[in-house]
């Protein structure tokens, strides 16, 4: 079987991409632009509305395929642009969480779960909607293994997921051993 978008992946700037619920590919091309390739009609759209510091490895489709989220890392302490951003391609991208986003994952329905990094390496787990509404801190603290200045995607942030019912999180506690996952239950 040949993946319908395989030829498009040759234009990737790096190895990071996401597949939307309808099969569309989301990736950064070799020029640094964000592209969306639809294998159904073989058309590609280029989007240049994302924050210029958006991390390629953090690009994710929303569950309904109508928007994308991404992380902007801190370039300095107190960087106002650092955080989680959402772009619905209808207006300017919106910063829905400000701060050091160590990792984030799509939750069930219309939810995003994120770990806010703290200088003491005790990550705080938050939950919010793709529309930026309903931001709430959970009672869970996650011990992080990387410092503030390690870029997300270069650490355990790639190994963070939420179960379909939203009751369980999986988080890679040791980046050296990818099979060592910690389960955190009942995060609501």
- The domain segmentation of the chain, as residue ranges, is 49-185
For the entire predicted model, the pTM comes to 0.77
Q: What is the predicted pLDDT for the residue at 94?
A: 92
Chain segment 147-168, per-residue pLDDT in tens:
655 554 444 445 677 777 777 7
- Considering only the C-alpha atoms of the chain, give the largest distance between any 2 of them, rounded to a whole number of Å: 49
Q: Which residue has the higher pLDDT, 170 or 154?
A: 170
Q: What's the full length of the chain, in residues? A: 188
Cα(72)–Cα(5) distance, rounded to whole angstroms? Answer: 27
Chain segment 61-79, per-residue pLDDT in tens:
998 999 999 999 888 878 8
The region that residue 89 occupies, defined by phi over 0 for left and psi between -120 and 50 for alpha, beta otherwise, is left
Q: What is the predicted pLDDT for the residue at 37?
A: 93
The Cα-based distances of 157 to 78, 119, 161 in angstroms read: 21, 16, 9
Pick the CATH number of 49-185 from 2.60.120.680, 2.120.10.30, 1.40.20.10, 1.10.287.70: 2.120.10.30
Chain segment 87-110, per-residue pLDDT in tens:
988 888 999 999 988 889 888 888
Q: Above 80 in pLDDT, residue 4?
A: no
Q: Which residue has the higher pLDDT, 185 or 40?
A: 40
Q: What pLDDT band is residue 10 in, cutting at 50, 70 and 90?
A: low
Q: Above 50 in pLDDT, residue 1?
A: no
């Amino acid at each position: 079987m040949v993946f319908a978008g395989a030829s498009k992946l040759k234009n990737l700037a790096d190895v990071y991409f996401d597949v939307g619920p309808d099969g569309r590919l989301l990736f950064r091309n070799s020029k640094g632009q964000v592209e969306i390739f639809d294998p159904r009609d073989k058309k590609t759209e280029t989007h240049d509305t994302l924050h210029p510091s958006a991390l390629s490895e953090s690009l994710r489709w929303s569950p309904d395929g109508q928007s994308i989220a991404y992380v902007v890392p801190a370039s300095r302490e107190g960087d106002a642009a650092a955080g989680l951003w959402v772009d619905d391609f209808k207006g300017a991208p919106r910063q829905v969480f400000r701060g050091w986003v160590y990792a984030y994952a799509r939750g069930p329905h219309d939810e995003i779960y994120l770990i806010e990094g703290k200088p003491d390496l005790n990550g705080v787990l938050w939950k919010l909607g793709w529309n930026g509404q309903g931001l709430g801190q959970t009672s869970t603290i996650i011990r992080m293994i990387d410092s503030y200045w390690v870029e997300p995607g270069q650490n355990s942030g790639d190994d963070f997921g939420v179960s379909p019912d939203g009751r369980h999180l999986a988080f890679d506690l040791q980046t050296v051993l990818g099979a060592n996952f910690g389960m955190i239950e009942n995060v609501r």
